[in-house]
A and B are shown apart, each in its own frame.
Chain A
Amino acid sequence: MIQYLRDHPDDVWQWFLAHVWLSVLPVLIGLLIALPIGWLASRFRWTYAPITNLAGVLYTIPSVALFIIMPSIIHTKILSPINVVVALTVYSVALLVRVVADGLSSVPVDVRAAATAMGFKGFGRFFKVELPIAVPVITAGVRVAMVSNVSLVSAAALIGVAQLGSLFTEGFSLQMTSTVLLGILLCLLLALTLDLLILTLNRWLTPWQRAVVSR
C-alpha cells in the first residue's frame, strides 16, 4: 500500500484533489438550488408533496446510470467529469430539498411572529431569522449528502473519470488488494475530514446552541 503511494505520489495526489472537488462542488451547488425550492415547499404547503415525491424518484435512480444518461441530456462528452458533477448535483438537490423544507417548517410560529413584530420582513426575516434556525436540520442533510457523495464519486472510475476510484480499477487490473485498500482508506479519510469540516461550520453558524448547553 505504502509502496504504491511511494511509486505514484503525483497520480495519487491528483486523484485525491479531483475527488475533493468532484464530491464537494455538487453539494455546494445542490444546496444553493435546494434552498429556494425547499423554501417554496415549506411556504406553499401544497407544493410539498409533489416536490418531495419528484425528489424521491430522482434519488431512486442509481448514480452510475445517471452518470451515463447525463451526456445525452446536457450534450457533454461521455468521459467528461462534468457529467459526474451534474449527476451528483441532481442527487444532492433531491436529498436536500426535503431537508431544507423540513428545516424551515421546524421554525416555531411564535419565533417567526416575534421576528415580524421586531420589524423583520421578507428576505431579511428569511436570512436573519428563519434560515439560521433551520441550520442544524440542514446540516444533518448536508452531512449525509457529502459523505455519500465521496463514495458515489469513486464509482465514476468505471466510466473513466480519474479520481481515487481509479485506485480501484488500477488495483483490479493488477489484482492487488493493497492498491484498492489505499483507495478505500483515502476515501474514508476524505469523508471523515469533510464531515468534521461541516460540523465545525455548523458550530460556528449556531453559537446559540453552545450558549444553551454551557449554561
Chain B
Amino acid sequence: MNGVGAFLTNSAHWTGEDGIPHRLLQHLGYSFGALLFVVLIGLPLGLFIGHTGKGAFAIAGTANALRAVPTFGLLVYVVIALSGALPGNLSYLGPSLLVLVVLGIPAVLSNTYAGVQSVDPAARDAARGMGMTPSQVLWRVEVPNALPLILSGIRNAILQIVATATIAAYVSLGGLGRFILDGLAQRDYPQMAAGALLVSALAVALDLLMAGVQRLVVSRGITGRYARVPLDQRSEPTLTAV
C-alpha cells in the first residue's frame, strides 16, 4: 500500500488532463448526466404504473432479467454496435452513457412502482374520500409515502452507474476507471490501487450523501423520528400509525 500513498500524494497527479481532480469531475459528470436521464425516465414511468396499475406485470420480469445481463458485456456490445453510427466525440461517449442509463432505470422504476403500490389502501381511500383529485392523491399521499423507497431506488441507481462508469474506461471513456486501466497497461499497481480506492471512496461518499438527503426529505410521519417533545406541549395534533 506504500506505493498507493506515494501515488496519491504526488502533486503531479493532482493537475492536468489525467490528474485526479479532472478524472473525478469526469466521473461525476458521466454519473450525474446518466442519473438525470434515469430519473427523468424511471420516475414518471414508475409513478404512472404504480398509480394506475397498468403494465405492472412487465416490471417484475424485466428488473430481474436485467440483473442477469453482464454489465461489461452489454457495454462492449453497445459500444461496438453504435460507435460507427455516431459522429465525432459522441461516438465513444454516447454508447457508454446509453448503457449507464439503461442499467440505472430498473432500480428507480421498480422501487418507485413498489413504493406507490405499497401505500396503505386506507390512506389512499381516505384521501379520495376527502375529495382529493387523482393528481392530488398522487402528489400529496402516494409520493410522500413512497419517498423512502423511491430514494433508495435512486441510491441503488447511483451505485450501479458509478460502478459501471468505472468499467467504461475500458471502452475509452475517461473518469477514475482510467487509473485502473492505464495502471494495468503500464504494469503500475499503485496507480491501479489508487484508482480503485478513489472509486470506492466516491461510491461510499455519494451513498452517505444520499442517506443524508433521505433523512432530510422523508416526512417524519413516515420514519417515526419525532422530536422528543412532551405530548401536552405539541402544537400540532400527532398522527398515530394508520
| Interface residues in chain A, defined as those with a beta carbon under 8 Å from any beta carbon in chain B | 57, 60-69, 71-72, 78, 144, 147-148, 150-151, 154-155, 157-160, 164-165, 167-169, 171-172, 175-177, 180-181, 183-184, 187-188, 191-192, 195
Quick check: is B102 within 8 A (CB to CB) of the other chain? no
The dominant DSSP class at the B interface is helix
| Interface residues in chain B, defined as those with a beta carbon under 8 Å from any beta carbon in chain A | 1, 4, 64, 67-74, 76-77, 79-81, 159, 162-163, 166-167, 170-171, 177, 180-181, 184, 189, 192-193, 195-197, 199-200, 203-204, 207
Q: Is the CB of B4 within 8 A of A72?
A: yes
Q: Is the CB of A61 within 8 A of B200?
A: yes
A151 in contact with B68 given A69-B197, A168-B76, A180-B73 (CB within 8 Å): yes
Instruction: Pick from B1, B162, B170, B207: contact of A158, CB below 8 A.
Output: B170
In the complex, A192 Cα to B68 Cα: how many Å? 8
In the complex, A187 Cα to B193 Cα: how many Å? 28
Residues from chain A with Cβ under 8 Å of B64 in the complex: 147
Q: Is the CB of B73 within 8 A of A165?
A: yes
In the complex, A61 Cα to B176 Cα: how many Å? 14
Q: Is the CB of B203 within 8 A of A171?
A: no
Residues from chain B with Cβ under 8 Å of A168 in the complex: 70, 72-73, 76-77
Residues from chain A with Cβ under 8 Å of B159 in the complex: 60, 62
Minimum CB distance partner of B72 in chain A: A155
Residues from chain A with Cβ under 8 Å of B192 in the complex: 68, 78
Q: Is the CB of B171 within 8 A of A188?
A: no
Closest A-B pairs by Cβ, 7 of them: A62-B163, A65-B196, A191-B68, A68-B196, A154-B70, A184-B73, A187-B70
In the complex, A123 Cα to B79 Cα: how many Å? 54
